[in-house]
């Protein structure tokens, strides 16, 4: 994988206006607004909210980064790259790295605001789990974005990504506490990778009934499933073109 190609991909991703709005600005604004609603005396709820918004921003960034594959397919960029020394593994790997990098602002800025402006206090191990842990947990979401990009078109990806982002956030328990909803929503949430991604951070502060090891294993399972599907679809698409 060429370093120059990787740098180019990162620049193209962060220049997108939608990336800055949905993955950086919106989670931060939602966190500040909702933290104010909870008041100054409810530190536990503000901490849980911080983790929720960190998760939301990180996985949204991953989806948007992967969705750009659809635009490149329609424009013939993938076909052009196949004429270069860049391999299919290098192309997908580069996209995966970009998806991880664009998730960094959310896992840095939201907790930073929580610590400086909202009075969230955690020890070093907890901060590491909330930031680095959630960042690593975004891997299956990066692969999901790549998979969507391999199937979608440039015209359809904005709608597909937007709807999927809302569904995964809402039913994954990032916007509304699952305890406030009927039990069926809890069952649905446990199927979704966003729920388990959020549990990586939530188990750090003891606000989850799940175990950290369970969350890691489920996310590893989703990583394998999405990874296999991405490689399979890319090979099918390459054979047709």
Within 8 A by CB and 6+ apart from 99, the residues are 61, 62, 65, 66, 138, 141, 142, 145, 146
Work out the number of other CB atoms within 10 angstroms of the CB of residue 102.
25
Q: How many other C-beta atoms are found inside a 10 Å radius of the C-beta of residue 82?
A: 13
Q: Is this prediction's pTM over 0.85?
A: yes
**Residue 4 pLDDT > 90, yes or no?**
no
Tell me the pLDDT tens digit for each residue of 104-163.
Answer: 989 999 999 999 988 888 999 999 999 999 999 999 999 999 898 888 777 787 788 888
Q: Answer whether 96's CB lies under 8 Å from 175's CB.
A: no
- CB-CB neighbours of 4 under 10 Å: 7
Check residues 73 and 213 and name the one with the higher pLDDT.
213
What pLDDT digit, counting tens, does each position of 194-211 carry?
Answer: 999 999 999 998 877 788
């Amino acid at each position: 994988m060429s370093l120059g190609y990787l740098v180019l991909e990162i620049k193209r991703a962060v220049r997108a206006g939608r990336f800055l709005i949905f993955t950086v600005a919106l989670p931060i604004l939602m966190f500040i607004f909702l933290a104010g609603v909870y008041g100054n005396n409810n530190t536990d709820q503000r901490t849980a909210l911080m983790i929720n918004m960190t998760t939301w921003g990180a996985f949204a960034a991953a989806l948007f980064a992967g969705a750009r594959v659809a635009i490149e397919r329609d424009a013939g960029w993938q076909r052009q790259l196949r004429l270069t020394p860049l391999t299919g593994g290098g192309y997908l790997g580069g996209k995966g790295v970009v998806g991880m990098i664009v998730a960094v602002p959310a896992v840095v800025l939201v907790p930073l605001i929580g610590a400086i402006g909202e009075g969230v206090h955690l020890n070093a191990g907890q901060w590491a789990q909330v930031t680095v842990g959630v960042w690593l947990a975004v891997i299956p979401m990066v692969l999901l974005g790549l998979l969507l990009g391999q199937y979608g078109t440039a015209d359809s990806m904005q709608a597909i990504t937007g709807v999927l982002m809302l569904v995964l956030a809402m039913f994954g328990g990032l916007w509304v506490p699952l305890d406030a909803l009927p039990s069926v929503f809890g069952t649905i949430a446990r199927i979704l990778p966003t729920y388990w991604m959020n549990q990586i951070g939530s188990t750090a502060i003891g606000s989850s009934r799940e175990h950290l090891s369970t969350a890691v294993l489920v996310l590893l399972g989703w990583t394998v499933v999405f990874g296999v599907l991405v490689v399979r679809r890319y090979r099918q698409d390459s054979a047709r073109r």
